[in-house]
Amino acid sequence: MMMQQYLGNITSQHALLQQNFQKIFGDSPEFIASAPGRVNLIGEHTDYNDGYVLPAAIDKYLHIAARKRTDNAVKLYALNFNEHCQFSLETLAPGNLSPQNVDATWSNYIKGIAYLLKASGRNIEGIEAIIAGDVPIGAGLSSSAALTVAAALAFLTGSDADMDRKHIAALCQRTEHEFIGVKCGIMDGVISLFGRAEHALFLDCRSLHHVHVPLNLDRHVIVICNTKVKRELAASEYNTRRAECEKGVKMLKKWRPSITALRDVPITDFKKYEEALPLLTRKRCRYIIEENTRVNSAVDALKAGSLQTFGALMKASHTGLRDDYEVSCKELNILTEIAGSVDGVIGTRMTGAGFGGCTVTLVHRNALETLQTRLKTEYLQQTGAEPEIYLCNVSDGATVHHLSR
């Protein structure tokens, strides 16, 4: 979820927030919490299988400019939507929110995280705040994680409270589970909080151990291309995939009782038992097990500077997502096919949950213009719609910027 409006660079975004804060609340904000969106380079749908992921934070942000209040009131204004919302921290309870995604407005994420911060024992106080950002909404670039992360940091800062960042990521995930209805994994919150400029983040989603891997892309750039397809199936199919993987684990336990997630199954073991699984379960499990291996190989390839290998792994990831995990869609496939046929493109795949959203492509900078032109014209010819292209820098994770008066 969340807003989309081009706001310029981070400094001009902050200035715009300050001006608007003054207009709405007649005062200056005390601080601005900013959380980035992310692009996942490889390791899709592996996070909720206790597996490995390799995302990078991008320089598209969700900002919350805020000042403390001395009571329990939370007064919010979402600049991109021109919408106000006000609530009291006293009356927050899961039942007061809309726990299903049908009604998941931006304020539900904020109420959810506020409730969970309070429930964790933090003495959370009221704030007044303006929210704005340029993470494309519903495009698979983690606009909702950016919102909950920024909101968590805003509440903690406004209450002079502290919390370990891994704990914050876990609460952001719980917000989605308990207040939005999406049983997502931990990746999005972690990368928004722990991202580092010019690095991808190799994350073990079971231990949360992570390593920043330098993105030595030589003369290549990352291109994100938005299908602009409305992801209607995303939430329900997402939860279905999770259930299918859990079913696979249950069945595989028959032979390997100690496993608790698909992450525990080496491909050699899987090959021994896969014939006994129903076809659908077999395909879902195979994709996850292979993708976990691919993420590890991708990290090795990056470290060794073997970009061609990295690109080949991206392509194999897309094939698995399309054919075995079945979360791609016609438009995502069209974009990857166009990109894959451009000389100078070394890897391309869908990124994020799927059923629409974006592709991520690694291209030599000499071929960047050709790639952009072909994506625009051929996608338009084939679908009748115009894609949106983002050339992002890989950025640092969430920050809180204190403003002097």
Write down the least CB distance from residue 151 to ligand GLA, Å.
16
Would you count residue 35 as binding ligand GLA (CB under 6 A)? Answer: no
The residue (of 122 and 165) whose beta carbon lies closer to ligand GLA is: 165
**Phi first, then psi: what are they for 261, rounded to 5°?**
-155, 165
Write down the least CB distance from residue 148 to ligand GLA, Å.
11
Element (H, E) at 117: helix 106-119
Would you count residue 291 as binding ligand GLA (CB under 6 A)? Answer: no
The residue (of 230 and 272) whose beta carbon lies closer to ligand GLA is: 230
User: What is the C-alpha R_g of the chain?
Assistant: 21
Burial class (CB in 10 A: 0-12, 13-18, 19+), 297: middle
Write down the least CB distance from residue 217 to ligand GLA, Å.
22
Would you count residue 48 as binding ligand GLA (CB under 6 A)? Answer: yes
Stretch that binds ligand GLA, among 63-71, 119-127, 148-156, 181-189 (CB under 6 A): 181-189
Would you count residue 52 as binding ligand GLA (CB under 6 A)? Answer: no
Would you count residue 37 as binding ligand GLA (CB under 6 A)? Answer: no
Write down the least CB distance from residue 190 to ligand GLA, Å.
9
Q: In this chain, which of 2, 3, 14, 45 binds ligand GLA, going by CB under 6 A?
A: 45
Distance CA 58, CA 134 (A): 11
CA 378 to chain centre: 27
> Which candidate, 53, 37, 58, 49, places its Cα nearest to that of 298?
53
- What residues are annotated to the active site? 188
State the DSSP string of 83-113: EEEEEEGGG--GGGS--SGGG--HHHHHHHH
Stretch that binds ligand GLA, among 57-65, 119-127, 157-165, 185-193 (CB under 6 A): 185-193
Q: In this chain, which of 139, 184, 277, 392 binds ligand GLA, going by CB under 6 A?
A: 184
The residue (of 48 and 109) whose beta carbon lies closer to ligand GLA is: 48
Distance CA 43, CA 52 (A): 6
Stretch that binds ligand GLA, among 56-64, 91-99, 180-188, 330-338 (CB under 6 A): 180-188
Record the tokens describing residue 97, joined without a space. 């929110």
Check: CB of residue 17 under 8 Å from CB of residue 5.
Answer: no
Check: CB of residue 58 under 8 Å from CB of residue 226.
Answer: no
Would you count residue 248 as binding ligand GLA (CB under 6 A)? Answer: no
Would you count residue 54 as binding ligand GLA (CB under 6 A)? Answer: no
Distance CA 39, CA 351 (A): 7
Would you count residue 326 as binding ligand GLA (CB under 6 A)? Answer: no
The residue (of 38 and 196) whose beta carbon lies closer to ligand GLA is: 38
CA distances from 346 to 230, 264, 364, 372 (A): 28, 31, 8, 15
CA distance between the termini of the chain = 32
The residue (of 49 and 361) whose beta carbon lies closer to ligand GLA is: 49
The residue (of 142 and 175) whose beta carbon lies closer to ligand GLA is: 142
Q: In this chain, which of 50, 188, 291, 324 binds ligand GLA, going by CB under 6 A?
A: 188
List the x/- string, 350-369, binding to ligand GLA by CB under 6 A: --xx----------------
Would you count residue 39 as binding ligand GLA (CB under 6 A)? Answer: no
The residue (of 66 and 171) whose beta carbon lies closer to ligand GLA is: 171
> Which candidate, 102, 106, 100, 108, places its Cα nearest to that of 83?
106
Q: In this chain, which of 158, 185, 195, 311 binds ligand GLA, going by CB under 6 A?
A: 185
Stretch that binds ligand GLA, among 164-172, 184-192, 196-204, 264-272 (CB under 6 A): 184-192
Distance CA 172, CA 157 (A): 16
CA distances from 193 to 28, 32, 180, 383 (A): 26, 15, 20, 36
**Residue ranges binding ligand GLA (CB under 6 A):** 40, 44-45, 47-48, 142, 184-185, 187-188, 352-353
